[in-house]
Structure 1
Amino acid sequence: MYEQKTKETESSIIEFIENVESLKKREDAYQLLDIFTETTGFQAKMWGPSIIGFGSYHYKYESGHEGDAPLVGFSPRKAKISLYFATGDTERELLLKDFGKHTSGKGCVYINKIADIDVEVLKSLIKESVQFLRETYPND
């Protein structure tokens, strides 16, 4: 049976952020921590060894695969900062047009630093993602 790798843990977020090598990335991580906490109303939790997540939802796919994941989150990785929002939400693509300098993959949006993006658009992306996932997975 599939064992989910990214699970909520009791690890310290502050300890994790303090271990980020780049001072600028640490500063951005603390700023993101404040933005995500204030915007979601959820307390941050570590998910796996490197994702700071907010809230959670339980998903179940038609394939039978199911698990838990944070509603939104971020990770100050070495190369870029990964931002985690809901996939499949059409509003996300519209909001990203005004977001600022970023690249995006299937589940992540990548930024170099907060100074490159519009923080108000970030807050909208967070709110939209939480709302979309709550509507898509209402059993939580």
Structure 2
Amino acid sequence: MQEITGREPQTWGTIIGFGSCHYRYPTGTEGDSGVLGFAPRKAATTIYLFDGVDAHSEALAELGPHTTGVGCLYIKDLEQVDLDVLRSILERSLAWVEAGGTPDVQLTVTG
């Protein structure tokens, strides 16, 4: 993720993030996060995708063993997934964040 974003890692609680952005939802919920990030967990590594997993359905079909949540990709073993496919997912998600998101999710890259 550091190579993809060109940004240094930093921690956001238990999440390792790269770069930073401010997000705002129509509900008024807002906060700060990394533009890309992951959390090493016992059950699986969690990769956070601001644009959601549905935006990557075709690539996810080719990724290899994984599970998903609304905006999370869970990978138990990185050696079993196609790292080129994972990289393309991360690059596409980063481009979406850097473009400012959508009217439903306003994103401002701050670092």
* 1:130 counterpart SS class: helix
Q: Could you say what the CA RMSD is over the residues aligned between the two structures, in angstroms?
A: 1.6
Deviations 1:16-60 (CA, angstroms, capped at 9, x unpaired): xxxxxxxxxxxxxxxxxxxx1112111111110x21111121111
Pairing 1:81–2:51 present: no
The 1-side partners of 2:24 and 2:107 are apart by 11
Match of 1:96 in 2: 60
The 2-side partners of 1:83 and 1:73 are apart by 6
Give the deviation of 1:102 after TM superposition. Answer: 0.2
Contact 2:52/2:72 (8 A) holds in 1: no
Gap runs ≥5 in structure 1: 1-35
- TM-score, length basis structure 2: 0.83
Aligned residues: 104
Contact 2:44/2:74 (8 A) holds in 1: yes
Gap runs ≥5 in structure 2: none
Match of 1:116 in 2: 80
Whose strand proportion is higher, 1 or 2?
Answer: 2
* 2:46 counterpart SS class: strand
**Percent identity among equivalent residues?**
38
Structure scoring higher RCO (CA < 8 A, sep ≥ 6) equals 2
Match of 2:33 among 54, 57, 69: 69
Q: Which has the larger radius of gyration?
A: 1
Counterpart amino acid of residue 38 in structure 1: E
Contact 1:57/1:68 (8 A) holds in 2: yes
